[in-house]
Amino acid sequence: MLAAISERLSDVVGFERIAEDIYVRGYSILTDVLPVELAESLYTHNQSMSQAIFEKAGIGRSDEHQQNQSIRRDEICWIDGYTPTGQMWLSFCAELQKYLNRRLLLGLHSFESHFAHYKPGMFYKRHYDAFKGSTNRILSLVTYLNKNWHESDGGHLVLYQNDEDTTGIKVLPTHGTLVVFLSEIFPHEVLPANRDRYSIAGWFRVNGTHGGVIDPPR
Ligand code: OGA
Ligand code: MN
């Protein structure tokens, strides 16, 4: 009971730090806010997942869905709530969504996320997760499942401040690191790594319509 309460309190402290970061600079990079139990569970789940259930990632949505190997070279697996780990992850993200809505009035309405696997040498070129007005992805979230990862392993996420920025902020994809940023504001890329690189990428969305029909989930 006490443990559960203190864990919830520490979640809230972490959520508040994310909210402040988003409010002040539009992004948050924190290595100590993901609950350890959740990070471990995601790590183990990812390790045990069969390669066969990863699919080659595509660019664009539903009918425009196409694979573009010159832009991205990862394999993905969408996360549903059918496993205890998936449930724990989705409820953590739902709590974060609720907190950010209350604190920043973002009106976030749903969340989607997938595991991603980048084999050595694979990358995701500089891109936006959302373009102004043409999508309903508001907030991007990434977390990493790589233990003992060093600078020399590469695979950094590079978060750029704007279109002119060519330096960016380099984030090492180490286990438990959580990155959250405004999807329309920050172009970013994934540099090639020399080891297998595992992550989870997710997006909080607002409700919208697409071509006159209610927006499909993905
Ligand atoms: C993405 C993405 C970043 C990362 O999947 O859109 O930018 O560090 N991922 O894995
Ligand atoms: Mn992205």
| DSSP character string of the chain | -HHHHHHHHHHHHHHHHHHHHHHHHSEEEESS-S-HHHHHHHHHHHHHS-GGG-EE--BSSGGG-B--TTTB--EEEE--TTSHHHHHHHHHHHHHHHHHHHHH-----EEEEEEEEE-TT--EEEE-S--TTT--EEEEEEEE--TT--GGGB--EEE-SSTT-SS-EEE---TT-EEEEETTT--EEE--BSS-EEEEEEEEE---EETTEEPP--
| Residue from 112, 127, 159, 188 whose mutation best tests the ligand 1 pocket (most atoms within 8 A of CB) | 188
The answer to whether 78 and 112 have CB atoms below 8 angstroms apart is yes
Cα–Cα dist 155/190, whole Å: 6
pLDDT in tens, 148-184: 999 999 999 999 999 999 999 999 999 999 999 999 9
Task: State the pLDDT at residue 66.
Answer: 53
Calculate how far, in angstroms, residue 128's C-alpha sits from the geometric centre of ligand 2: 6
Question: Ligand nearest 113 Cα, by number?
Answer: 1
Calculate how far, in angstroms, residue 10's C-alpha sits from the geometric centre of ligand 1: 26
Atom of ligand 1 nearest to the CA of 57: 5
Q: Is the pLDDT of residue 60 over 90?
A: no
211 pLDDT band, cuts 50/70/90, is very low
pLDDT in tens, 81-131: 899 999 999 999 999 999 999 999 999 999 999 999 999 999 999 999 998
Atom of ligand 1 nearest to the CA of 76: 5
Give the pocket of ligand 1 (CB within 6 Å). Answer: 116, 124, 129, 142, 157, 173, 188, 190, 199, 201
Atom of ligand 1 nearest to the CA of 155: 8
Domains of the chain are 2-54+70-205 (2.60.120.620)
Give the predicted TM-score (pTM) of the model: 0.88
Half-sphere exposure of 34 (CA within 13 A, CB side): 29
Atom of ligand 1 nearest to the CA of 171: 8
9 pLDDT band, cuts 50/70/90, is confident
Calculate how far, in angstroms, residue 142's C-alpha sits from the geometric centre of ligand 1: 7
